Structure 1
Amino acid sequence: MATSSDNLRTYPECYSLTNMAAHVGRTFGPGAPQLIDQGRIQMFADATGDQQWLHTDVERAKRESPFGGPIAHGYLTLSLIAAEQIAIGIYPSDASGIMNYGINKVRFLAPVPAGATVTLSATLLEVTEKSEGRWLLRVSNTINLTDSGKPAVIAETLGMVFA
């Protein structure tokens, strides 16, 4: 029998559109470790225009940063949630589509240093039927620093699931 901390990718037959609500309270993950290296940080900075030295100037960050080196943008870390939710199976595999619907609350609890790895665990908090064939899932997400297990980001997200 699966426990609340089991990764449900192992048990795909037990989680579907028809029984999502029965899985409220269940934790999915943790997912595979994601490396946040300096190259990834720089690509995010280039894509968003956020070139703050704390993220992009390695030598200055080593000299002047209170963290001893460059750290990932908080929004880079936050952006990992969408793809990782899919990877850990928070959305039923029999859904025809899913889309981000919003974020209720985000907290950046610890910096993610360049070179760190993070993992996502997500707990299904609520399933609300919005209309025939459409459900809103409210999910609590925790991105942990792999080496310390310390939470870097906690975010409550909303995802729309389509039959």
Structure 2
Amino acid sequence: MLVIKSHDEFASHLGKELGFSDYHTITQEQINLFSDATLDHQWIHTDTERVKTESPFKATIAHGYLTLSLIPYLWKQIVDIQNLKMEINYGIEKLRFAQAVTVNSEVRLVVTLVDIANLRGVTKATIGITLEIKDQKKAAFTGEAVFLYHFI
């Protein structure tokens, strides 16, 4: 795991891959809980019988936003940013969902530091994000996550 303790340490990684997370298995229970939390119960996510005959995937698929919601969990497996007063999710840019994630797929996050700026003492970091699906050529999504870090 990469440890970062200051803006300057962070900036030294500009343009470099920061690493990748462990694989995380997307379960039907996780999909169902996300459906309940977001009130999105579309059958392609929750109807394990109907998908066998009507879905091109022949299995339920994770919500795109479920896969996005894994970013903080997987990001914390890659980088330990220390000496912080606060960190804020600032945005997601250039996001593209490239492939559906079927139930029981394993996914991992791969990240690169795309841009970094010091905004009057606040570090704005733009992180290239790719959610890979194990044994698949296409990623689930690609994009850029933007975080604000208030170092001590």
- Deviations along 1:90-113, one digit per CA (max 9) or x if unpaired, are x62233321100111211101100
State yes or no: 1:63 paired with 2:63: no
Aligned residue number for residue 146 of structure 1? 134
Identity of aligned residues (%): 35
Contact 1:63 1:69 (8 Å CA) reproduced = no
Partner residue, 2:74: 84
User: Does the 8 Å CA contact 1:27/1:123 hold for their aligned counterparts?
Assistant: yes
Task: Pick which of 92-101 and 110-119 moved more.
Answer: 92-101
Q: TM-score, normalization: structure 2?
A: 0.92
Give the 5 Å matches for 1:41-60: 41-60=31-50
SS at match of 1:156: strand
Structure 1 CA distance, aligned partners of 2:85 and 2:77?
16
With CA pairs under 8 Å and 6+ residues apart, which has the higher RCO, 1 or 2? Answer: 2
Runs in 1 of length 4+ with deviation above 6 angstroms? Answer: none
Q: Does 1:115 align with 2:104?
A: yes
Q: In the alignment, what sits opposite 1:130?
A: 119
1:31 aligns with 2:21: yes
Q: Where is the strand percentage greater, Structure 1 or Structure 2?
A: 2
Q: Answer whether contact 1:16 1:92 (CA < 8 A) is retained.
A: yes
Contact 1:101 1:160 in 2 (8 A): yes
Gaps of 5+ in 2: none
**Inter-partner Cα distance in structure 1 for 2:13 and 2:30:** 34
1:151 partner SS: coil
Q: Which has the higher helix share?
A: 1
CA deviation after TM superposition for structure 1 residue 86, in Å: 2.0
1:147 positional shift: 2.4
How far has the Cα of 1:117 moved from its partner?
A: 0.7
Structure-2 change in CA distance of 1:16 and 1:109 (3 Å): same
Count matched residues: 150
Determine the structure 1 residue equivalent to 2:11.
Answer: 21
Q: Pairwise CA RMSD of aligned residues?
A: 1.4
Q: Which digits, 9 at most, give the CA deviation of each residue in 1:9-31, with x for residues without a partner?
A: 1x53xx43132111111212220
